Amino acid sequence: MQQFQSAGYDRALTMFSPDGRLFQIEYAREAVKRGTTSIGIKSKDGVVFAIDKKIKSKLIEPSSIEKIFKIDEHLATASSGLVADARRLVDIARQQAQVNKLKYHEPITVTGLAKYIGDLEQLYTQSGGVRPFGISLIIGGVSDGEARIYETDPSGAIVEYKATAIGLGRDKALALFEDKYEDDLSLDDAIDLAIEGIYQATDGKVTTDSVELSVIKMEDEKYQKIEKDDVAEYVQKLLDRKEAEKEEAERKAEEERKEKEAKKAQAKAEREAKEKAEAEAAEEAAEETNESEDEE
């Protein structure tokens, strides 16, 4: 890769390297990977969005950090990467949602919006003088009586998920979802799983102020931001459970340690008893030999 870069293949968006790669798009993906964690989960009752705000200073107002955006009453998106790029795409998505209402007299579908944003991102991968959007979006909502979640990529590719994560710690969150996700999750269970996904992605660095939650319910198909007090309750519930799991793990580890020590002590006692018995048998054999020699 370094050889190709030195040849200048990463200087122009429209120039392929000899092995068929567009390095500017890969650099945009790196910007996404360095962004904070965003999560989207589909449940039988709707869609859940959760983000890690990653507050770097106590002087920052947590409410000023916005990474979940309402697109329409039934649609929202969570972002990771360059937030300024996200705001631009969100403005375009909101305009398209309104254009669809005026033109077709019906709300835009989740699939339709995801494809529109993906097509737009793709345009920025084949034009000179522009750069790719350094952002990935989780677009989710309820349309046609069905909850859907899509993930967009800086290349313009879109993939539909049942549960997904973008940004820092994505692989850890996806591993958790693959293990615990079920199709019949309730909304509360999905919220709990989303917060646990952030917990895993951030290596346990979760506080009541660092998490933001939003939902779109199937029953009314309306976007709703979870209040701060309710978020704190969900987060504290997870932290209490993790603390209990940690204590249980420590207790089991201590029991296993004591059991191993007991087995080791028992094995040692049995070995010493066997050695003592062998020594006594050897002494008796030696005495019998001596008595036989004396009789002779």
Q: Could you tell me the two tokens for 69?
A: 């955006």
Amino acid identity of 182? E
CB 53 within 8 A of CB 213: no
Query: How far is residue 134's CA from residue 79's CA, in Å, rounded to a whole number?
Result: 10
The dihedral region occupied by 38, where left means phi > 0, alpha psi between -120 and 50, and beta the remainder, is beta
Query: How far is residue 180's CA from residue 174's CA, in Å, rounded to a whole number?
Result: 10
CB 101 within 8 A of CB 108: yes
Query: At 19, phi and psi to the nearest 5?
Result: -100, 20
CB 156 within 8 A of CB 118: yes
36, 37, 77, 164: the catalytic one is 36
Angle, vertex CA 191, rays to CA 185 and CA 196, nearest 5: 105
Amino acid identity of 223? Y
CB 92 within 8 A of CB 120: yes
- Helix pair 228-295, 187-201: axis angle to 10 deg: 60
What is the DSSP track for 101-138? HHHHSSPPPHHHHHHHHHHHHHHTTS-TT-----EEEE
CB 120 within 8 A of CB 150: no
Query: At 217, phi and psi to the nearest 5?
Result: -85, 150
Q: Is 202 a catalytic residue?
A: no
- Which residues are the active-site residues? 36
